Structure 1
């Protein structure tokens, strides 16, 4: 341990040596997250990314930052207010971490808006402009005035703030205008008459961008921001008053829920109450438009009880998440987007319209989204719902899309008399309201709806179909790494396994029994299940590789996950590295492990891929003394996943499918276009080598998964 505390590494990329103390063995989780969002911002900055896609990445940066502030930063502020200011395992106190995060986020926001201005300039060259009022000619201004009077004005509600009208409740992440007024004929606010202050909400029910009528003979399409239109027409709301200033602002509130599951008689009603309380969460960030009047700024600070460290002055339009919808709706701009990838129906199931018969006759099947269509999952559930020999369907739902085909199929199955059990996770952050609505719909259809286990989120992604066949029962199972959501399945990379393997089927039944009833811990034959069994199983697999390495045998671990922040898991990987195990980690987001540190993590490499699709699959490969083993999972290697959630690790038994997944992992590790490598210092650099350019996400679309599987099966 003394040697580790005094360990020294040389960062060849940055050309400096660094002393490492005990707490510096780890990278702080929240600082690591800022590095991840910086990588997303790099995609917006990259001239090689199609222009409209660069706007999309800029929108994602803003959305990510909103969630980070409302959850992670809010949690730190809450701890600090409660007097808790002790170092975490990375050595940071809450107060010290908040100061460093404030600086990093401030730099990120400045880069974000610098990129925004550059992208607007490039967009203008494509004859599309976000215009200001002064850019419009008289005819265009007149048309916009008519639009304001007919469409916008009836929706607006001016809210004066004075002794008789208290400061209103400002909704989380909504856009407002702070208006400073003076009576007409009075020369500005004075000590005697004070200021007149009002708030106007920019209605989110209307489009944030308003298309402007083209100038005659012009090819340019201009759009006006809704808040700009309201600003120039604000006098219509305050007759008898002159406008001193109008500036936009936005409040981000603590959005983390404090649900009392133990004391709740009805979890559904308790969640609905908590969602209403979320609107009143304490403010953690106040974004204000650059140039806001001192009077308005001070009044907002006083009423919202925020300090200077919680204020972000923005040089541009607030809330850039609008860019996603704006650029996504621009017509005839295909040349400025990624080429479309049409998901294909998985070849394994293309031979028959009966999915269950394919699994009976041909064995397990693997699908990889978004290259292969999520329709096969919809068809699996729909087929089971219509099959008279199917007796029961059991399924977990974490995040479900609007108008979900799966939910409709489950409802039909229940209405036809089948036993349908759905474990709905209503605590899925920011999808709580939608999941409550689906739960009620399923209950009305006759489904048995369960809201998970007290104190645990149900994050496993699994479906079980029980079918009567030749006087006995057969179980069909789908296990996935991603949510049952047909929309995100087009945007996220995820793997799904279809099987009727008896061990997996038996474990699936036992898992649902544990989630829905009282059941003693099961003696799992295939699965490893959190919170009790997943971490020990991962340790067991890592220990086996350590044992092989110590015997001089080849030992290797390749893990693809979204986040690695559990200190015990990081320590276990350090132990593996020190024993000589080669460890390759593909971690999209947060990573608290420092790779490449002599004597600590010499044998660990960490890469992150940020590209067109969100890397979301969780896959684990271990060499297993020459008998390769591959698993798919719902779990990241975070404390919450391993200790406070129902998570699932499922083996892939088919040798060909194992090889296909291993090939996918190797493809990620060979990426030298969109992959970044984590340095011991905690920073990331793009992977550069002498190999021909390889972009793993695009290679995946060029080399279909089923072709890889077919080649692998020939090998067996």
Structure 2
């Protein structure tokens, strides 16, 4: 009976990793959608590959570690590590097969538009001569063939780099003799796709892949040997860092050491080109000790190169979305003194529809303003050339107190953040690496300014990173305010992160890991109480992922109490909606479209007195218990309405929205009858659709 009850309870939840695979399927569907411009489909196809790379190197690597350690306990969704691994691999393998089917279709469509990926053997004499010259002049000098034999051990194979496996024999050898084996890295510092000179009187653009060009010239690297086969392979290693933060004397140095170790991470996945020679496959699997997670790919390995190609191609704008020109927030347009404006009113910014320049200007004005005494800021992921860094450095050099909390543990951005941390320190900024055992994921800037009536605090709180590049690609919310309680909480938050402070009694904020989850539970339970009393009760929450079991259970309880709950969850969702007696009042939508949905907005009806929050945190265990996160209330009624309008657009999307079904699958939300189509991201490009209109949810 106990086992039956456990199984029934497990059926209440969807598995996090399987839910993520379904999210990547939704990305793949965008690559398949004929309504999506062709070069945008190319980008989505590339994103599927980059997403899967990270999933394998982190999530699947973690599952394999659990199996290796002998863990057999089921998680709350009913899976043992071994059972989950088999299910994840089965679903991922099917997705990769579908991805390459899509790839072949897109290649055909590109060909019709005059963008052709060709084979070396199909080139004419003039084209071959040009590519031969490129190989001998540019490619050949940087290639390093690496033989594998008794005197030369298997060389280090870097994670997610592209290699060629070469099987050879000597002239005159018996074909039955054991062949020779070598590997060769395809240069990563040269373009993967190579432009071929055009044919006479042709407007078509032709390309050949670097590995195909090398394969045709492989004999130049092995004189005296006969190449029997040349096939590409690619290895993915465990990329999770194992940090001893408490034992590390210098966290920055410890992370640099771990980054160097990452290249030797345990092999997790092996991708090989279809038709690879059995002897080559044997050599690879024995060396990497990998047998279960091998993908045989019918096409080019690693389609992430497609992203650069789709962005760089000139003359094909008709195959892309029309460029969006973010507008400067009207409240701040033609305003010389941002601080004077923010004393009068709060200002909401919605990226990418509104420009990130407003955030940059806020920091730069603070840097040059003689009345500003201090600037404090958190940095999680920053662009390669960030004007914010320049502004902070300028402020420190002019004598202001500048404190920057740089999160060195932001996965895959560690090296960039280390470089920024050193640059800021050299400029005189106080650089703090956050709290031991916690990632600082909150997005907040505090400016302290001396004014005629005393010190005043100005704050920017965001749902996304201080990254001007991703602000053009992600949907995120930013709030500028000089609200007294928010300013006081902002000071207290920085004091906790940078110094020794007892947990603060927050006046406005909810802060993880101390009290955000409890505050969210309190608000969910309040809605349940209001529903039981016959008062208006509703929850609308927009975020990236939902995987915390306690949070799911609280939402189930609220649904059973009569609360109407609408969740807009782009990625992972462990909650199973629409189950009678459990979650029939809960809907879950996912929107995958041109921009990456990234904003976190929480709405609570509160008996007719709505409360609206923006946050840096998703409703995942890691965000609520192992990160410094921030949830900020929106006090201004007009800004509350703007955020409600944004939620309303997402809930009304019947073009790119997909609704989660009780069985864990997603179905497109389609307009029926005379209902007009509404594509929320395209509607949001009309600023008036969410900023000046009053809408009912």
Q: TM-score, normalised by structure 2?
A: 0.98
For 1:95 and 1:160, locate their aligned partners in 2 and report how far apart those are by CA, in whole Å. 36
1:218-263, CA deviations, whole angstroms, 9 ceiling, x for partnerless residues? Answer: 2221101000001101111111111110000000000011111010
The aligned residue for residue 16 of structure 1 is: none
Deviation at 1:673, TM superposition (A): 0.2
Q: Check conservation: 1:559, 1:618, Cα contact below 8 A.
A: yes
Deviation at 1:710, TM superposition (A): 4.0
For 2:172 and 2:107, locate their aligned partners in 1 and report how far apart those are by CA, in whole Å. 40
Q: Does 1:23 align with 2:6?
A: no
Which one of the candidate residues 313, 324, 329 is aligned to 1:330?
A: 313
For 1:110 and 1:671, locate their aligned partners in 2 and report how far apart those are by CA, in whole Å. 30
**SS across alignment from 1:92:** coil
For 2:82 and 2:184, locate their aligned partners in 1 and report how far apart those are by CA, in whole Å. 34
Q: Check conservation: 2:31, 2:42, Cα contact below 8 A.
A: yes
1:366-401, CA deviations, whole angstroms, 9 ceiling, x for partnerless residues? Answer: 000000000000000000000000000000000000
1:569-617, CA deviations, whole angstroms, 9 ceiling, x for partnerless residues? Answer: 0000000000000000000000000000000001000000000000000
Deviation at 1:354, TM superposition (A): 1.8
The aligned residue for residue 14 of structure 1 is: none
Which one of the candidate residues 200, 208, 217 is aligned to 2:201?
A: 217
**SS across alignment from 1:48:** coil
The aligned residue for residue 227 of structure 1 is: 211
Deviation at 1:712, TM superposition (A): 5.2
Q: TM-score, normalised by structure 1?
A: 0.95
Deviation at 1:704, TM superposition (A): 3.5
For 1:492 and 1:653, locate their aligned partners in 2 and report how far apart those are by CA, in whole Å. 25
Q: Does 1:247 align with 2:238?
A: no
The alignment of Structure 1 onto Structure 2 pairs a total of residues equal to 693
Which one of the candidate residues 359, 371, 394 is aligned to 2:376?
A: 394
The aligned residue for residue 238 of structure 1 is: 222
The aligned residue for residue 417 of structure 1 is: 399
**SS across alignment from 1:222:** strand
The aligned residue for residue 563 of structure 2 is: 581
For 1:147 and 1:100, locate their aligned partners in 2 and report how far apart those are by CA, in whole Å. 45
For 1:147 and 1:320, locate their aligned partners in 2 and report how far apart those are by CA, in whole Å. 23
Which one of the candidate residues 33, 53, 58 is aligned to 2:20?
A: 33
* Cα distance change of structure 1 residues 688 and 711 upon mapping to structure 2, 3 Å threshold: closer
Q: Check conservation: 2:645, 2:691, Cα contact below 8 A.
A: no
The aligned residue for residue 11 of structure 1 is: none
For 1:232 and 1:375, locate their aligned partners in 2 and report how far apart those are by CA, in whole Å. 49
Q: Does 1:197 align with 2:181?
A: yes
1:287-346, CA deviations, whole angstroms, 9 ceiling, x for partnerless residues? Answer: 000011000000100011111x21100000000000000111110111100011100111
The aligned residue for residue 83 of structure 1 is: 70
* Cα distance change of structure 1 residues 287 and 582 upon mapping to structure 2, 3 Å threshold: same
Q: Does 1:452 align with 2:434?
A: yes
The aligned residue for residue 290 of structure 2 is: 306
1:27-49, CA deviations, whole angstroms, 9 ceiling, x for partnerless residues? Answer: 00001001100000000000000
For 2:141 and 2:339, locate their aligned partners in 1 and report how far apart those are by CA, in whole Å. 56
Q: Check conservation: 1:657, 1:712, Cα contact below 8 A.
A: no
Q: Check conservation: 1:247, 1:288, Cα contact below 8 A.
A: yes
For 1:562 and 1:256, locate their aligned partners in 2 and report how far apart those are by CA, in whole Å. 21
Which one of the candidate residues 673, 677, 681 is aligned to 1:697?
A: 681
Which one of the candidate residues 320, 337, 347 is aligned to 1:365?
A: 347
Which one of the candidate residues 58, 62, 77 is aligned to 1:71?
A: 58
Give 4+ residue runs of structure 1 displaced > 6 Å after superposition: none
The aligned residue for residue 100 of structure 1 is: 87
Q: Check conservation: 1:656, 1:712, Cα contact below 8 A.
A: no
For 2:586 and 2:670, locate their aligned partners in 1 and report how far apart those are by CA, in whole Å. 18
1:443-467, CA deviations, whole angstroms, 9 ceiling, x for partnerless residues? Answer: 0000000000000000000000000
RMSD value, Cα: 1.4
For 1:285 and 1:138, locate their aligned partners in 2 and report how far apart those are by CA, in whole Å. 40
For 2:132 and 2:73, locate their aligned partners in 1 and report how far apart those are by CA, in whole Å. 56
The aligned residue for residue 9 of structure 1 is: none
1:303-702 equivalences under 5 Å are 303-307=287-291, 309-361=292-344, 363-690=345-672, 691-702=675-686
For 2:341 and 2:333, locate their aligned partners in 1 and report how far apart those are by CA, in whole Å. 9
For 1:347 and 1:234, locate their aligned partners in 2 and report how far apart those are by CA, in whole Å. 60
Q: Check conservation: 1:477, 1:504, Cα contact below 8 A.
A: yes
Q: Check conservation: 2:331, 2:347, Cα contact below 8 A.
A: yes
Q: Check conservation: 2:448, 2:455, Cα contact below 8 A.
A: yes
Deviation at 1:142, TM superposition (A): 1.1
Q: Does 1:261 align with 2:248?
A: no
Which one of the candidate residues 176, 181, 184 is aligned to 2:163?
A: 176
Unmatched tracts of structure 2, length 5 or more: none
**SS across alignment from 1:467:** strand
Tell which deviates more after alignment, 324-333 or 629-638. Answer: 324-333
Which one of the candidate residues 44, 49, 56 is aligned to 1:62?
A: 49
For 1:296 and 1:43, locate their aligned partners in 2 and report how far apart those are by CA, in whole Å. 36
For 2:515 and 2:648, locate their aligned partners in 1 and report how far apart those are by CA, in whole Å. 28
Q: Check conservation: 2:645, 2:693, Cα contact below 8 A.
A: no
For 1:358 and 1:285, locate their aligned partners in 2 and report how far apart those are by CA, in whole Å. 54
1:632-665, CA deviations, whole angstroms, 9 ceiling, x for partnerless residues? Answer: 0000000000000000000000000001100110
The aligned residue for residue 139 of structure 2 is: 152
For 1:709 and 1:703, locate their aligned partners in 2 and report how far apart those are by CA, in whole Å. 6
**SS across alignment from 2:331:** helix
The aligned residue for residue 111 of structure 1 is: 98
For 2:495 and 2:300, locate their aligned partners in 1 and report how far apart those are by CA, in whole Å. 51
Deviation at 1:5, TM superposition (A): 5.7
**SS across alignment from 2:574:** coil
For 2:121 and 2:688, locate their aligned partners in 1 and report how far apart those are by CA, in whole Å. 52
Unmatched tracts of structure 1, length 5 or more: 7-19
For 2:168 and 2:671, locate their aligned partners in 1 and report how far apart those are by CA, in whole Å. 61
**SS across alignment from 1:702:** coil
The aligned residue for residue 10 of structure 1 is: none
